[in-house]
């Protein structure tokens, strides 16, 4: 049993608001005189049915947490803490999703909101030894014109350096909005060299993943787990080299699967799909990055060489600078050559 915190990895699926420490949300709520709903303050992981009602409850808790972030200082705190928490879990590369719209009113617009996130990502990332890329995420709940505005903003700040915007995403309830309406925004992003990183194959099945593939041409799928429901789509994703950002704790919390054992991690890996494990919204799912690797080990029986391969795949699916990936790959081999600690069981 080698220490999974010491295994170098990349964290490719985590949202700005959902990354917050519960203690930070509580602290910010106190500062701003906000009363938080119990679902945010409890230590218990969220458990909801995968229905529109369940999603509505999730969204309500999420919105309550988001409402606690009300200044540049708050935003910088969130970014520096997610980087610190990632660093403590062996993450060498973090790709953080943010929709700057929510924070724009407090800092003078979406442009300064994004610039604050980027600047803190660069500074804190350098201080803590984590390479950080920013994914500007649009929402299915909003009008397609808003997605285009965000795509234009993302394009303006596109780059390969730490703190730059490297991807464009699409989040929220997969059952809402028409995927084809976001095609234009995604084309703008792709034309500027940004990675296409929409959610898909989470709350809808393989049929919708095909629409996402045809309309948004993803480099990676946020979740993507439900491609296992159709062998043809599974093969298509595998042969196209599209990675899946798999978030086991999220899937269980949001009722996509009844428990960890039902998350089709093994099926995806066996089909040749590149998988990058992620935490999605640890604030509400009470489970961070290393816990996803622990689930792979303890629930799905992944051996240390297989866990090392998951970590390699997370890095190879990232947009990290080549030097970051190469250094991490060397250290992954070293991790694997280190003597395993005796297990207590
Ligand atoms: Zn997500």
280 alpha carbon – ligand 1 mean position (Å): 5
198 alpha carbon – ligand 1 mean position (Å): 9
Mean pLDDT taken over the chain: 96
Tallying the residues shown for the chain, one arrives at 345
The single residue of 95, 202, 210, 245 carrying the catalytic annotation is: 202
Consecutive H or E run containing 327: helix 322-337
The alpha carbon dihedral of 186, 190, 192, 198 has a sign of positive
Longest dimension (CA), the chain: 56
Q: pLDDT tens-digit profile of 291-317?
A: 999 999 999 999 999 999 999 999 999
State residue 344's pLDDT score.
Answer: 59
State residue 276's pLDDT score.
Answer: 98
Distances (CA, A) of 172 to 74, 137, 141: 23, 10, 7
Residue 318, Cβ neighbours under 10 Å: how many?
Answer: 27
Which residues fall within 8 angstroms of residue 322, CB to CB, at 6 or more apart? none
Beta partners for 94?
11, 132
247 alpha carbon – ligand 1 mean position (Å): 8
Q: pLDDT tens-digit profile of 215-267?
A: 999 999 999 999 999 999 999 999 999 999 999 999 999 999 999 999 999 99
Residues within 5 Å of ion ligand 1, judged at the Cβ atom: 280
Give the 3-state DSSP-derived string for 5-40, with helices as H, strands as E and coil as C.
HHCCEEEEEEECHHHCCHHHHHHHHHHHCCCCCHHH
Spatial separation of the C-alpha atoms in residues 316 and 311, rounded to whole Å: 9
Distance between start and end Cα atoms, the chain: 10
> pLDDT band at residue 77, thresholds of 50, 70 and 90?
very high
Determine the average pLDDT of the residues in 326-331.
98
Residue 318, token pair as written in the block: 């990232």
The residue with tokens 């929220």 is 172
Q: pLDDT tens-digit profile of 92-121?
A: 999 999 999 999 999 999 999 999 999 999
pLDDT exceeds 90 at position 12: yes
Spatial separation of the C-alpha atoms in residues 139 and 169, rounded to whole Å: 8
State residue 343's pLDDT score.
Answer: 64
State residue 342's pLDDT score.
Answer: 76
State residue 9's pLDDT score.
Answer: 98
pLDDT exceeds 80 at position 279: yes
Residue 333, token pair as written in the block: 């081999």
Residue 216, Cβ neighbours under 10 Å: how many?
Answer: 25
Domains in the chain (CATH in brackets) are: 4-337 (3.20.20.140)
Q: pLDDT tens-digit profile of 184-209?
A: 999 999 999 999 999 999 999 999 99
> pLDDT band at residue 1, thresholds of 50, 70 and 90?
confident
202 is catalytic: yes
Which residues fall within 8 angstroms of residue 101, CB to CB, at 6 or more apart? 110, 113, 142, 146, 150
């Amino acid at each position: 049993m080698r220490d999974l915190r010491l295994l170098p990895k990349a964290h490719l699926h985590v949202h700005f608001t959902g990354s917050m420490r519960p203690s930070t949300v509580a602290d910010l709520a106190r500062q701003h005189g906000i009363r938080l709903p119990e679902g945010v303050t409890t230590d218990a992981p969220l458990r909801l049915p995968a229905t529109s009602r369940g999603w509505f409850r999730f969204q309500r808790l999420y919105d309550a947490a988001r409402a606690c972030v009300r200044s540049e200082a708050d935003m910088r705190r969130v970014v520096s803490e997610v980087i610190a928490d990632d660093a403590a879990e062996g993450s060498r590369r973090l790709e953080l999703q943010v929709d700057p719209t929510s924070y724009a009113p407090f800092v003078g617009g979406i442009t300064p909101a994004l610039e604050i996130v980027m600047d803190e990502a660069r500074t804190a990332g350098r201080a803590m030894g984590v390479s950080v890329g920013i994914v500007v995420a649009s929402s299915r709940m909003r009008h397609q014109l808003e997605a285009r505005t965000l795509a234009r903003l993302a394009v303006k700040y596109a780059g390969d350096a730490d703190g730059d915007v490297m991807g464009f995403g699409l989040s929220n309830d997969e059952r809402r909005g028409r995927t084809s309406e976001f095609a234009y925004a995604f084309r703008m992003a792709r034309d500027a060299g940004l990675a296409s990183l929409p959610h898909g194959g989470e709350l809808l099945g393989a049929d919708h993943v095909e629409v996402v593939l045809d309309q948004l041409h993803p480099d990676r799928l946020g979740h993507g787990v439900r491609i296992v429901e159709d062998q043809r789509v599974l093969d298509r994703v595998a042969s196209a080299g599209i990675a899946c950002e798999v978030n086991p704790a999220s899937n269980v919390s949001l009722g996509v699967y009844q428990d960890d054992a039902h998350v089709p991690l093994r099926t995806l890996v066996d089909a040749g799909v590149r998988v990058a494990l992620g935490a999605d919204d640890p604030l509400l799912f009470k489970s961070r990055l290393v816990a996803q690797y622990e689930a792979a080990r303890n629930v799905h029986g992944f051996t240390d060489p297989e866990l090392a391969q998951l970590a390699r795949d997370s890095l190879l699916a990232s947009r990290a600078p080549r030097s970051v990936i190469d250094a991490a790959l060397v250290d992954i081999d070293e991790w694997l050559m280190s003597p395993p600690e005796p297990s207590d069981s």
